[in-house]
Amino acid sequence: MGQRCPISPPSPHNRFPPPSPNPIFTHPPPGCPTGGDAPCVCVLSPNLPSPPSCPTLGIKSPPPSPPPSPSGPSSWPAAGVRPTDPGALSLARAIAEEAPEEVTLVGVYAHCGDTYGCRDVPAIQAIARATTSAVLDFVTTLRQAGVPCPQASIGSTPSCSHPVPEMAQLTELHPGNYLFYDLQQTLLGSCQPEEVAIRVLTRVIGHYPHRNQLLVDCGWAALSLHGRDQAPTGCAAIEGHPQLRLVGLTQEHGQVEAVDGRLDFERFPLGSTLALIPFHACATAAMHPVYYVHAEGKVVELWRPVRGW
């Protein structure tokens, strides 16, 4: 039997609004329909393949040179050493051989964050191909030099969502956002809207006709500020309500407006719930100590994330 969300009893004023005739997000409403201790994070029927378990230990290496991205240079930082760096081989050898009882060289990993600057799939795949090639070439160099290197891996959700055949030669993929997906990934083309598996439930707690706004009980403490200036609907999209947008967040409150014209306040009575699809699931998930996992209308598990500090 599934556990229930920390909710108040269903009432006519306390349920998901009916889907819009033209919803942005067509995923069926989750089984935790009625607010209560909103805002809470809900994970919808996680039917995606299990994500890779742990990051590969070893050298973190960025692509060797700016990959052929038509969308311009990456805004992401490079950590680790470049595989073309003259010291890369000796570093790998030192990791593998200097203190084998303490440190093991497990593999080589690169995260092609450049893909977040791409505007189409061919650009993402070009980066994925270049990154894969850089990693595999370096592993070959290591092996030829007598340094065992069992794992070869790349990350980034955009690249792993549009894999190229060359990636079959890797031993692991590490797309961290892939577990949930989010509004950002739909904008990048990594997924369809109905594949996004995370929502923040929030309740309408105020009507402000004089400024044509609803107030909801979800602020940046439940959503983060990620995406504030990047998505047309703000830090989140409002499921089933493309006519609404989140225009402001304070610590515990959000302001919702109509994209055009007057808000239909009667559709959103006080206490009714809205489901927010976050712009950046990683950032939103980091704000919550527990996730309510749904399947077929019931909460089937509670996930409590492990934190590093």
Stretch that binds its own copies, among 136-144, 154-162, 166-174, 301-309 (CB under 8 A): 301-309
Instruction: Determine the 3-state secondary structure of 3 from DSSP.
Output: strand
Stretch that binds its own copies, among 17-25, 148-156, 167-175, 250-258 (CB under 8 A): 250-258
Binding residue (CB under 8 A) for its own copies from 225, 258, 270, 300: 225
Q: Which amino acid is at 5?
A: C
**Rounded CA gap, 92 and 190, in Å?**
33
Query: Is 39 one of the binding residues for its own copies (CB under 8 A)?
Result: yes
Q: Which amino acid is at 212?
A: N
Query: Is 213 one of the binding residues for its own copies (CB under 8 A)?
Result: yes
Query: Is 220 one of the binding residues for its own copies (CB under 8 A)?
Result: yes
Per the structure block, which two tokens stand in for 220?
């940046």
Query: Is 284 one of the binding residues for its own copies (CB under 8 A)?
Result: no
The neighbour count for residue 290, using CB atoms within 10 Å, is 12
In the block, residue with structure tokens 């919808």: 44
Question: In terms of DSSP H, where are the helices of 98-248?
Answer: 121-144, 157-161, 183-188, 220-223
Give the nearest distance from C-beta 22 to its own copies in angstroms. Answer: 28
Question: What x/- string results for residues 69 through 88 when contact with its own copies is judged by CB under 8 A?
Answer: -------xxxxx--------
Query: Is 99 one of the binding residues for its own copies (CB under 8 A)?
Result: no
Per rule CB under 8 A, count of chain residues that contact its own copies: 37
Binding residue (CB under 8 A) for its own copies from 226, 241, 245, 294: 226
Rounded to 10 degrees, the C-alpha dihedral 264/270/272/278 comes to: 80
Stretch that binds its own copies, among 99-107, 181-189, 279-287, 293-301 (CB under 8 A): 279-287
**Rounded CA gap, 104 and 115, in Å?**
30
Contacts of residue 62, defined as CB under 8 A and 6 or more positions apart, other chains included, come to 78, 79, 80, 82, 110, 111, 112
Query: Is 58 one of the binding residues for its own copies (CB under 8 A)?
Result: no
* Interface positions with its own copies (CB under 8 A): 6, 37-40, 76-80, 113, 206, 208, 213, 215, 220-222, 224-226, 248, 250-253, 255, 282-283, 286-290, 307-309
